[in-house]
Amino acid sequence: MKILVTGGAGFIGSAVVRQAIARGHAVVNLDALTYAACLENVASVADNPAYAFEKADIRDPAALAAVFARHDPDAVMHLAAESHVDRSIDGPGAFIETNVIGTYNMLQAARAHWEHKGRPETFRFHHISTDEVFGSLPADPAVKFTEDTPYDPRSPYSASKASSDHLVRAWHETYGLPTVLTNCSNNYGPYHFPEKLIPVVILNALAGKPLPIYGNGANIRDWLYVEDHATALLTVLEKGEIGRSYNIGGENERSNLELVETLCAILDRKRPKPAGRYADQIAFVTDRPGHDARYAIDPSRIRAELGWRPSVTVEEGLEKTVDWYLANEAWWRPLLNRQGVGERLGTGTEK
Ligand code: NAD
């Protein structure tokens, strides 16, 4: 298959690009290269004849039409988005433009291309979304998000992603575009941009800085290793049923405090401090407005219907992640100077 991947220079998109090439697909990586992008993430495939890069903005319909015409893809995996919840609170406009209007532009470009090709049933438009569209769960561990959970987004980011999910379903129902949709929990792993919680904790710990945790650290998230998410996404693309959505999660619920303490314990073993423990650097900071209490995914559908399951536990994945950051300072150090990133290391964050 020739797959047009949007956002392929980002954290999850680049894992999808690397795995898609390894699985024998051809990839066109379309990315505007915003502050969150790193082409180094796909350096390992850059010289592969099955890989092409297009610098283009999904807010620009003419640019999208040109990319579809130039490459004639068989499928789209749409990951390009503004992804940082805290930035969506400070400046929601970019989230509406890219996540809502940009997804509309992608749907229209894909639909025109699909109709031009004679509406092949084999075509796929795979929209990649988040569990945050479902809102906030109570503490009861028996209650989880299923594919039938009503939407209840509560941040500008999750509202923009929910809007884009609705557009994708509408383009399937109204125009027959062969879509699939996935909603995934919090990802972590190599190439995670250094303004997100796990890299913030690792990098601040190493720098001897406070490890900021929102509120009392009781908020619960369900964590999935990024390579496992990429495998799930390619499985849904290859085998998912048209018009269907799939929840993807690792069944690894941890409170933010537990997660940070686990990271500190791994660092204590791998890079011991001369005195004291990394957990001594934990600092509770003013909570995020509208902070959702708990997210938890029920991944029964993707497990039962498509046979996907994660390859690592959260402890194994965090171990690999810490190793990767310790070995790849040349990747993360320059990113600290990107737009607003340095200042964000001192404030609360998540994801
Ligand atoms: P990211 O911020 O690391 O990467 C986003 C990429 O999209 C960047 O390379 C950026 O340059 C590109 N981009 C942004 N605006 C663009 C535009 N207007 N035109 C073209 N390219 C543009 O994000 P991520 O964490 O890899 O998330 C990827 C997708 O997965 C997003 O749609 C996100 O909503 C979804 N998602 C993320 C998580 C998570 O935990 N990170 C969980 C579930 C779903």
Measure 252 CA to ligand 1 centroid, in angstroms.
22
pLDDT of residue 326 exceeding 80: yes
**What pLDDT score was predicted for residue 346?**
67
- Give this prediction's pTM: 0.97
Taken in order of first residue, the domains within the chain and their CATH numbers are 2-188+224-251+296-312 (3.40.50.720)
The residue from 51, 157, 246, 295 that is catalytic is 157
The residue from 82, 131, 195, 222 that is catalytic is 131
- Residue closest via CA to ligand 1's atom 44 equals 130
| Whole-number Å distance between alpha carbons of 137 and 133 | 12
pLDDT of residue 238 exceeding 80: yes
**What pLDDT score was predicted for residue 43?**
98
Average pLDDT across the chain, whole number: 95
How many C-beta atoms surround the C-beta of residue 146 within 10 A?
13
More confident residue, 184 or 346: 184
pLDDT tens-digit series, residues 2-27: 999 999 999 999 999 999 999 999 99
| Whole-number Å distance between alpha carbons of 287 and 189 | 25
pLDDT of residue 101 exceeding 90: yes
Burial class (CB in 10 A: 0-12, 13-18, 19+), 270: exposed
227 is catalytic: no
Measure 248 CA to ligand 1 centroid, in angstroms.
16
Q: Give the mutation target among 33, 79, 84 for probing the ligand 1 site: most ligand atoms within 8 A of CB.
A: 79
**What pLDDT score was predicted for residue 223?**
95
222 is catalytic: no
pLDDT tens-digit series, residues 121-168: 999 999 999 999 999 999 999 999 999 999 999 999 999 999 999 999
To the nearest whole percent, how much of the chain has pLDDT over 90?
92
| Whole-number Å distance between alpha carbons of 342 and 114 | 43
**What pLDDT score was predicted for residue 292?**
83
Distances (CA, A) of 39 to 64, 208, 218, 245: 20, 29, 35, 30
131 is catalytic: yes
Of the listed ranges 125-139, 214-228, 304-318, 334-348, the least confidently predicted one is 334-348
**Which residues fall within 8 angstroms of residue 140, CB to CB, at 6 or more apart?**
none
Distances (CA, A) of 336 to 65, 104, 189, 339, 348: 35, 32, 18, 8, 16
| Whole-number Å distance between alpha carbons of 256 and 297 | 17
Structural Rg of the chain based on CA atoms: 20
- Residue closest via CA to ligand 1's atom 19 equals 57
Contact between 332 and 199 under an 8 Å Cβ cutoff? The reply is yes
**What pLDDT score was predicted for residue 291?**
86
| Whole-number Å distance between alpha carbons of 114 and 279 | 53
Residue 8's closest CA among 241, 20, 89?
20
pLDDT of residue 345 exceeding 90: no
**What pLDDT score was predicted for residue 239?**
98
